[in-house]
Amino acid sequence: MNEQHWRDELLEFMQEKAYRPLTFHELVEVFAVPEEEQEGFRQILKAMEGEGLVVRTRTARYGLPQRMNLVVGHFQAHQKGFGFVIPDGDDEEDVYVPPEGQNGAMHGDLVVARVESSQGARRQGEIIRILSRAVTRVVGVLERHRGLGFVVPDDRRLTQDIYIPRGQMGGARTGEKVLVEITRWPSPRRGPEGRVVENLGKTGDPGVDIRSLMVQYDLPEGFPPGVLAEVDRLPQKVLPEEKKGRVDLTGELLFTIDTDDAKDLDDAVSLEKLGKNGWRLGVHIADVSHYVAEESALDREARERATSVYLVDRVVPMLPPELSNGICSLNPEEERLAVSVFIDFDSTGVPGPDRVVLSVIRSKARLTYSQVNELLEGGKKVRGLEGPMADVLLAMDKLAQTLRARRRQRGSIDFDLPEPKVILNPKGEVQEVLRSDQNRAGQLIEEFMLAANEAIARRLIGQNAPGIFRVHEPPDPEKVQAFQEFLYNFGIPFQPGKEASPKAFQEVLEKVSGRPEEHLISAVMLRTMRQARYATEPLGHFGLATRWYTHFTAPIRRYPDLVVHRIIKELLPKGQLSAKRVGKLLRVLPGIASHASQMERKAMEAERESVTLKILQYMQHHVGEEYEGIVSGVTAFGLFVQLSNLAEGLIHVSTLTNDYYTYQEKHYALIGERTGTRFRLGDKVRVKVMRVDLAQRQMDFQLVLKPPKNRKKGIQKKTKA
């Protein structure tokens, strides 16, 4: 029995307008399924039901969820109790689910929701079925009382404490971090129940925080024996027979530019002058697919991980270090296999012909962003960057700035948001938290990688090949309108039109460049955008203002890049794939793209939380100290303030004791009723650190510097200070 054939047939049949839900036996009769295949047919239906592709009604009839006013998706819980069902379909809106409509669902579960009402674009519904559980183990802090226990989850989206019966606490004591296995799922009337399976250590002890975070996000600490056995059989040097059929670029001036602490170097660059005004850019990417055979143990593990995760004090790699830091890393003065992309540009940065070749390269140097930036922005000689190397870097900078200007001209959005950089001492303790802004060297590499990714996407489209594309759809119209109202408060005109264009957003960034509220407006704009994802259709990239885009330049740390490498390499000999290969890719790529998108989001959450955790640990040692900050959020209960190191805390409205304050939502402001004192987004304030709560991941501030008075009428809502 061909399972995929039956799946396709069933879905096509159920999509017909005349279809009405049928029982199993009725479907068997319609499709004339032989008796010996009926049990397999039943299992296919059961599997499709488990995936949410079809729904089985109370009367045991099968149909498509979208034909029954049902939505299948993952439940995204909020710490305040409500949540959303995020549909698996690309063109469906989220469904808001109030606390009373969750019926035992937990964050991340795959669920079926019934849509009960719609107000504009907002749909509201109730979860009627849980197809699969996302969380089977939970990390939290144990609290014991009279022989009973409760675990308070670290993940605040898991809003219910987990009850631990007598004898199931594994010897753990109050205040210790534990790993709990859920033994009974929550229901509308009862909370979840579990047992302690591992004691992770006392809260606050060295290493317990990141270890707990890894367990919480289910991040693996090592690789399975089968994967390591395959790695042991791989060479750690390029063998003579591996060079056959490849272009020898070992004599070319090419090099890597990366962060000071990077070990997985998967891209190198080169540049050649063409005539008077042209350039030939070379982007050379590690040929990871040469060492990671499709469907090998290595490949299956990489597909499951989908991405490397960069925590504050460690990397959880997609590939074992023998590959990521070894034979696949473009280390200086070592021969490496690569896939090289050459793109010709004219003087205005318009791309011309491009060429892709399998190559052997030898990086001439391992340069760092800080080192290269000193040359580009400092305008002086830098040790180790003399002669031809310096000349090439200066020419690269000129090309990169040309490409950047052209990209902005077409409307590409450059947020350039700063990021916190946590510096640890040898003991793993936070030594300092710095603000990290992108520099010219970072822009250089970014532009060249964007150019290579676009070139590869054009090639996939031009050769009509299946692929995985990086897509970014236009923002939701309601969010665009809210952003327009937000900008009005800063006196910034924004006319996005019926269909918002990326150029309109980029023009806003240009208007606020250099202003105090620049980073704030950039952050709000970023929240207005949809999240980029992977897809098998080239749906365009709104943020980059380009029709076609893919990920190709980081196969060491992103699985979609590795897949694209394989497809591009298969296209090189004849320019097309076999029908059998196309059929297989069309079947497997959607699942790979969806999984990679989910794992990317999980990795981002884990990385962000590890940084937040370390920043708060650092700020614990600075309670009572004063800092300058900027108001980054305004709510009815207070002001969020961001410090220069990007740490963020709350000034609760109850601490503003000089007046009664009103929250004006449309103006993003708190306004004093008596004094007219106004606090708005972007205002500069001075604060005192009052409290740091690691468990709640929050910090409390107190205002210590009065802002200038600004009297204004129109108070809407009173909040007693």
Give yes or no: residues 371 and 514 share one domain.
no
Buried b (16+ CB within 10 A) or exposed e, 541-554: bbbbbbebbbbbbb
Q: Which domain holds residue 29?
A: 3-65
Q: What are phi and psi of 284, to 5 degrees?
A: -115, 115
Query: Per the domain annotation, does 238 fall within a domain?
Result: yes
Query: Per the domain annotation, does 550 fall within a domain?
Result: yes
If you average pLDDT over residues 520-525, what whole number do you get? 84
Q: How much is the CA Rg of the chain, to the nearest whole Å?
A: 28
Most confident residue range from 65-79, 330-344, 633-647, 695-709: 330-344
* The token pair that represents 369 in the structure block: 């962003």
If you average pLDDT over residues 457-465, what whole number do you get? 95
Give pLDDT tens digits for 210-250.
888 998 898 998 999 999 999 999 999 999 999 999 999 99
Give residue 342's pLDDT.
98
Q: Is 384 left (phi over 0), alpha (psi -120 to 50) or beta?
A: left
CATH number at residue 19: 1.10.10.10
Query: Per the domain annotation, does 212 fall within a domain?
Result: no
Is the per-residue pLDDT at 566 higher than 50?
Answer: yes
If you average pLDDT over residues 491-498, what whole number do you get? 82
Give residue 85's pLDDT.
92
* The token pair that represents 55 in the structure block: 């729904």
Would you say the C-alpha torsion 134, 139, 144, 148 has a positive or negative sign?
positive
Give pLDDT tens digits for 127-178.
999 998 988 899 999 998 877 899 999 888 898 899 999 889 988 999 899 9
Give yes or no: residues 311 and 299 share one domain.
yes
Query: Per the domain annotation, does 214 fall within a domain?
Result: no
Q: Which of 610, 630, 657 marks a domain boundary? A: 610
Residue type at 556 in one-letter notation: I
Q: What percent of the chain lies above the pLDDT cut of 70?
A: 96
Q: Which residues contact 7 (CB under 8 A, 6 or more apart)?
A: 44, 48, 53
CATH number at residue 699: 2.40.50.140
Helices (H) and strands (E) in the chain, counts: 15, 35
Q: Can you tell me the distance from the alpha carbon of 70 to that of 52, in angstroms, rounded to the nearest whole number?
A: 10
Distance of CA 394 to the CA centre of its chain: 33
Give yes or no: residues 73 and 60 share one domain.
no
Q: How confident is the model at residue 204 (pLDDT cuts 50, 70, 90)?
A: confident
Q: How confident is the model at residue 707 (pLDDT cuts 50, 70, 90)?
A: very low
Q: Is 487 helix (H, G, I), strand (E, B) or coil?
A: helix
Query: Per the domain annotation, does 579 fall within a domain?
Result: yes
Query: Per the domain annotation, does 208 fall within a domain?
Result: no
Is the per-residue pLDDT at 366 higher than 60?
Answer: yes
- Please state, rounded to an integer, the average pLDDT across all residues of the chain: 89
Give yes or no: residues 238 and 379 share one domain.
yes
Q: Can you tell me the distance from the alpha carbon of 621 to that of 615, in angstroms, rounded to the nearest whole number?
A: 10
Query: Per the domain annotation, does 502 fall within a domain?
Result: yes
Q: Is 489 left (phi over 0), alpha (psi -120 to 50) or beta?
A: alpha
Give residue 718's pLDDT.
34
* The token pair that represents 540 in the structure block: 């365009």
| DSSP designation for 136 | S
* β strands within 193-311, DSSP E: 193-202, 247-249, 256-258, 267-274, 278-286, 309-310
Q: Which of 132, 157, 174 marks a domain boundary? A: 132
Give pLDDT tens digits for 308-359.
999 998 999 999 999 999 999 999 999 999 999 999 999 999 999 999 999 9
Give pLDDT tens digits for 637-691.
999 999 988 899 999 999 998 889 999 877 778 999 888 888 988 888 999 999 9
Give yes or no: residues 439 and 546 share one domain.
yes
| DSSP designation for 272 | E
Give yes or no: residues 432 and 553 share one domain.
yes
Confidence (pTM): 0.85
Is the per-residue pLDDT at 398 higher than 90?
Answer: yes
- Pairing outcome for strands 309-310 and 469-471: unpaired
Find the range with the poorest average confidence among 61-75, 468-482, 670-684, 701-715.
Answer: 701-715
Is the per-residue pLDDT at 90 higher than 70?
Answer: no
Find the range with the poorest average confidence among 192-206, 249-263, 449-463.
Answer: 192-206
Distance of CA 295 to the CA centre of its chain: 25
Q: Can you tell me the distance from the alpha carbon of 516 to that of 521, in angstroms, rounded to the nearest whole number?
A: 10
Higher-pLDDT residue of 120 and 114 is: 114
Give yes or no: residues 75 and 151 share one domain.
no
Q: How confident is the model at residue 7 (pLDDT cuts 50, 70, 90)?
A: confident
Give residue 705's pLDDT.
57
- Looking at the structure of the chain, the number of domains it has is 6
Residue type at 320 in one-letter notation: P
Higher-pLDDT residue of 79 and 558 is: 558
**Maximum C-alpha span of the chain:** 83
CATH number at residue 197: 2.40.50.700
Nearest-10 crossing angle of helices 369-378, 387-410? 80
Give residue 716's pLDDT.
34
Give yes or no: residues 410 and 315 share one domain.
yes
Give yes or no: residues 23 and 122 share one domain.
no
Give yes or no: residues 329 and 465 share one domain.
yes
Give yes or no: residues 461 and 504 share one domain.
no
Find the range with the poorest average confidence among 39-43, 202-206, 675-679, 705-709.
Answer: 705-709
Is the per-residue pLDDT at 593 higher than 60?
Answer: yes
Is the per-residue pLDDT at 568 higher than 70?
Answer: yes
Q: Which of 561, 587, 610 marks a domain boundary? A: 610
Give pLDDT tens digits for 406-455.
999 999 998 777 788 888 888 778 888 888 877 899 999 999 999 999 99
Q: Classify residue 713 as exposed, middle or buried by CB count within 10 Å of its CB (0-12, 13-18, 19+).
A: exposed
Q: Can you tell me the distance from the alpha carbon of 712 to that of 698, in angstroms, rounded to the nearest whole number?
A: 32
Would you say the C-alpha torsion 322, 325, 331, 335 has a positive or negative sign?
positive
Q: Can you tell me the distance from the alpha carbon of 635 to that of 136, in angstroms, rounded to the nearest whole number?
A: 35
| DSSP designation for 241 | G
Query: Per the domain annotation, does 211 fall within a domain?
Result: no
Give yes or no: residues 395 and 315 share one domain.
yes
